[in-house]
Structure 1
Amino acid sequence: MTQQTIGSQELLKYFSLEMTAKDTESLEAASKSIPEGTAVNLTYLGNETTEMRVEAAQAIVDAGLSAVPHISARRLTGADELRDYLERLSAVGAVDRLFLVGGDPSTPVGPYPDALSVIQSGLLEEFGVREVGITGYPEGHPDISEATLWDALERKLAALDRAGIQSSVTTQVAFDATAVAQWIAQVRGRGIGTPIRVGAPGPAGIKRLLGFARRLGITANATLLKKYGASVTNLLGKSTPATFIEQAAEEFAQDNLGDVRVHFYTFGGLVATADWTRDYLADAGREDSRILGQGESDADVH
């Protein structure tokens, strides 16, 4: 086995997944391929009701997985709605870990303009939230300056620390392993040791990947797609995360970047992502055993 493959196994250990409330029906099938206790992030979309989100959170818990519900700050109408959601999540055992995002609306519908304002509300501590994840932007944000992104990251982490809540950072979906490694090095250079999850696309059609990248302001050109293991000339083709993960493992091995894992954006393909990850790790494990066996045979000969 190559060092690169060993690194990709380590990077995939304790991976996490993302799903929407609409993926609940496929969760039972997917859970057969997902290790018990795996973190499953649950999005907070504008076309979903609170009831749908809570039912999905309950399904995640019932499947023996760790629910990580998202909260979209700018979609909250006020403290009463936030409190109600936290109460409902608590009732189904899904309030220990949350993920906070600003949200898509350009204008907040209530008093929370960003994730920081939700952290500062005091309600998270009241409901016993143990860990909060926030977003990282290795390839920038189309509407927010780099200086503002760094300031927001540090302020949110500091606020969580003051509240006695553990933190983690999950990046937006990434295609450029080198850019991600450089960004994580910058994070560590700022004295931030919090665990980081690198956002990777699960198995999906290339056309869909490009559409998602454009929505995030990521320029996925032909060169970048080639590095990712896909081709802009084959938009009807499928892509897997293998090349990106192996490149990322190789990049990360060059520096001591601390606790770094993978988070899969599933694009509605929850079962496909779970099955792919299971099979990839199983294949890597078999290759590891084969190489180790060869080593033992060589030792016997000599």
Structure 2
Amino acid sequence: MTLPQIHRNWDKPPHIITDGYSLEMTAKDIAALKDAAPLIPVETPVAVTFLPGEEHAARIAATVAVRELGFEPMPHFSARRIRSEDDFEGYLNAVVRDAGVRRCFIVAGDPPAPEGPYFDTMALLETGAFERAGITAIGVGGHPEGHPNMSVDECWDVLDRKVAAIASRGMAPLVVTQFGFDPDAFLQWLVELRRRGIDVPVRIGVPGPAGIKRLLSFAARCGVGASASVLKKYGISVASLLGSAGPDKLVDAFAAGLGAEHGKVRLHFYPFGGLRKTVEWIAGYEARHGAG
């Protein structure tokens, strides 16, 4: 499969592990993105989440801001939170028209029952709306530490079917993983992913620096493993949950452990402590490791 131009440089190993990173933001983070923008490389992919309680107008405004600041917007679509066909295609066509969107990220969403006609991501794909709108790449979720509602085998089967469905529709699949604290779990998952013949680009989810209690709160909410032994690998002691923690050890482990057997990999940062704090950490990491 030939990847579209927006997946350029994936075949070139990164000079430093943070090269070509991507970020995540919410519709409320426009001011924070503008503040952090001078530190973010041009064309950096920025995902715009699809959170409950937000209106499409706010999500569209955030997506437009990403484009106007010189970055590559990647809006999320949460299948079970979409209320109707018009709701779905209206939002999709608006971000394509107003922000030049070329890539999207799709998830089933948290509600156990759909609020509209779409139960899962395959239902969104099967509408054909993405390719009709000119979308050239679709991201889907990966779960190196498992999924609370699926077995390990089910996770692999669903991921394989989604990747195949995206490719069959002429778009480039991309996997973006949930964040985690255990580099060994991610590295093993990547090896198994490639063993199963899924050779698409992967973005590994990395938690940006944040307060320790905040990190653990997000971990509990997202079903991320946070045992004492895992947290120790990350650099957090359960004996003291005060203060902040950054992903230094985690990113160092990826820099040391990633090899050809893991395929095309980049990092995706979840800025739990704020966008500026995250990109400042990235800039500091690159300065310490000789980037540029």
Q: For this structure pair, what is the TM-score category when the shorter chain's length is used for normalisation?
A: over 0.9
**Residue of structure 2 equivalent to 1:257:** 262
Residue 282, structure 1, aligned to residue 292, structure 2: no
Distance 1:241 1:9, change over 3 A: farther
Question: For the Cα contact (< 8 Å) 1:11–1:260, is it kept in 2?
Answer: no
Q: 223, 234, 242: which is aligned to 2:229?
A: 223
Which range moves more in the overlay, 225-234 or 180-189?
225-234
Residue 157, structure 1, aligned to residue 131, structure 2: no
Instruction: Please provide the CA RMSD for this pair.
Output: 1.5
SS of residue paired to 1:197: strand
Shift of 1:214: 1.1
SS of residue paired to 2:205: strand
Q: Which runs of 5+ in 2 are unaligned?
A: 1-12
Shift of 1:47: 1.4
Q: 172, 195, 215: which is aligned to 2:201?
A: 195
**Residue of structure 2 equivalent to 1:214:** 220
**Residue of structure 1 equivalent to 2:75:** 69
Q: 53, 62, 72: which is aligned to 1:56?
A: 62
Shift of 1:79: 1.3
Give me the identity figure in percent.
Answer: 43
Residue 10, structure 1, aligned to residue 34, structure 2: no
**Residue of structure 2 equivalent to 1:22:** 28
Shift of 1:274: 1.1
Which of 1 and 2 has greater Rg? 1
CA distance in 2: counterparts of 1:47 and 1:242, whole angstroms: 34
Distance 1:215 1:8, change over 3 A: farther
Shift of 1:199: 0.2
Question: For the Cα contact (< 8 Å) 1:57–1:94, is it kept in 2?
Answer: no
AA aligned opposite 2:48: L
AA aligned opposite 2:278: T
Shift of 1:249: 2.1
TM-score (norm 2): 0.92
Question: For the Cα contact (< 8 Å) 1:42–1:69, is it kept in 2?
Answer: yes
Distance 1:88 1:268, change over 3 A: farther
Q: 266, 276, 279: which is aligned to 1:271?
A: 276
List per-residue Cα deviations over 1:242-284 (Å, max 9, x = no partner): 110111222223x521111110011251111011111211221
- How do 1:91-170 and structure 2 match up within 5 A? 91-170=97-176
TM-score (norm 1): 0.89
CA distance in 2: counterparts of 1:263 and 1:140, whole angstroms: 18
Shift of 1:30: 0.8
CA distance in 2: counterparts of 1:81 and 1:154, whole angstroms: 28
- After superposing on structure 2, the runs of 4+ consecutive aligned residues of structure 1 that deviate more than 4 Å are none
Shift of 1:9: 5.6
How many pairs does the alignment contain?
A: 280
AA aligned opposite 1:50: H
- How do 1:38-49 and structure 2 match up within 5 A? 38-49=44-55
CA distance in 2: counterparts of 1:217 and 1:125, whole angstroms: 32
